[in-house]
Amino acid sequence: MAGRAIWLTCDPPPLGFVPGKRTPVTAASRETIMGVPVKPPASSFRLQRREFLLLAAGTTIPWNPGFAAATIPRIGVIGPGSGAASRSSLDTLLNGLRALGWADGGNLVILDRWAEEHAERLPGIAKELIGAAVDVLVTAGTLATLAATSATATIPIVMVGVGDPVALGIVESLTHPLGNATGLALSSVELTAQRLRLLQELLPGLHRVAVIIRNDPGLEQNLLDIRNLAEGMGLEVVELEANTGRDLAFAFTWLRNDHWDAIYVASGPLGPAKRSEIIALAEDARLPVIYSFGQFSRAGGLMSFATNDTDLFRRAATFVDRILKGANPAELPVEPPTRFELIINLRAARALKMTVPPSLLARADQIIQ
């Protein structure tokens, strides 16, 4: 069944408003997203690369395999969240590096900088770390990675948890990045499909699913994947792009009044305040929600199915190690997520007067009482 797309504004229609026919999602020509420069799609890079190769007679980005041997390497770490909330991820990275023979303050220096939930600060942080002469940048999430790739085309970048690095122009392909960035992708079509299947298992009569998403990088491809999967599963889907608190409040009110069965929040992890707002709105609307990031369920949301962040940062250490030992990031394939976690919050289920099927509870990696 075809999906529908609704763009919310600050002056919403009356609550009785029923959306008309589906409006296709089109790629907006935005130069920045949340203040972070966005590269054009990978296809345009191909043309630029061909022109460059013609001019440079096949010369690519200079690479010095022995750069780490001369001095103690400096690793910059950039993330959009707070330093306190990101401490566990940073510790996982440091432990992974330590297991590979690298010790912060010994044969390695770690410079971590966090935007404290202000994405517009990321470009400045990237420039600051580049000015500090880091040898490798580790970027947490899509926005931090876009800020880093916009700031340097030569310093190796290890990305951690980027939704679609090819569509965003970060790499040429997953198997052959060809630039200065590589690392770990976040999303996959199968991951999205599994979230929809979990909703079906939670609600056997599921028919209508609302997708709430903000204007994140890769929005169009994400919505296309959800729409195609839902159609194949016989689900009716409405897509609501909600970028403000008022948008969110209207979305949940309209969905409750129009009797939708469930919600899939496809954006995140967002900041703590925004997560709490969404969770509270879902509880007030008495609608079951599945989230794309575990932080939501840990904060009170009903259910989440997400990549395991600990595993991603542990594997990022391997990329850093290989680069420090001379590997060229252009030749290191981007890796998909391999470990996932299902979190179920029974307090949220009780608030909704829902009974979670035993089969779901048996598969949960974490159950919050």
Give the tens place of pLDDT for each residue, 190-199: 889 999 999 9
pLDDT at site 8? 52
179-59-166 Cα angle (round to 5) = 20
* Pairing of the two strands 74-79 and 109-114: parallel
CA–CA gap between residue 26 and residue 276 (Å, rounded)? 30
Q: Report the SS3 class of residue 91.
A: helix
Specify whether the CB–CB gap between 243 and 33 falls below 8 A: no
Please state the pTM of the whole predicted model.
Answer: 0.79
* Residue carrying the six token digits 């940062």: 313
pLDDT at site 53? 36
CA–CA gap between residue 40 and residue 169 (Å, rounded)? 6
Q: Report the SS3 class of residue 340.
A: strand
Residue numbers of the chain with a pLDDT score lower than 50: 1, 7, 9-31, 33-34, 40-62, 66-69
pLDDT at site 4? 57
CA–CA gap between residue 148 and residue 154 (Å, rounded)? 11
Q: What does each C-alpha distance from 198 to 34, 328, 356 come to in angstroms?
A: 31, 40, 11
| E strand map for 227-349 | 236-241, 262-265, 289-291, 303-307, 340-345
**H/E stretch holding 112:** strand 109-114
Kindly calculate the radius of gyration of the chain based on its CA atoms and give it in whole angstroms.
21
pLDDT at site 325? 97
Specify whether the CB–CB gap between 143 and 268 falls below 8 A: no
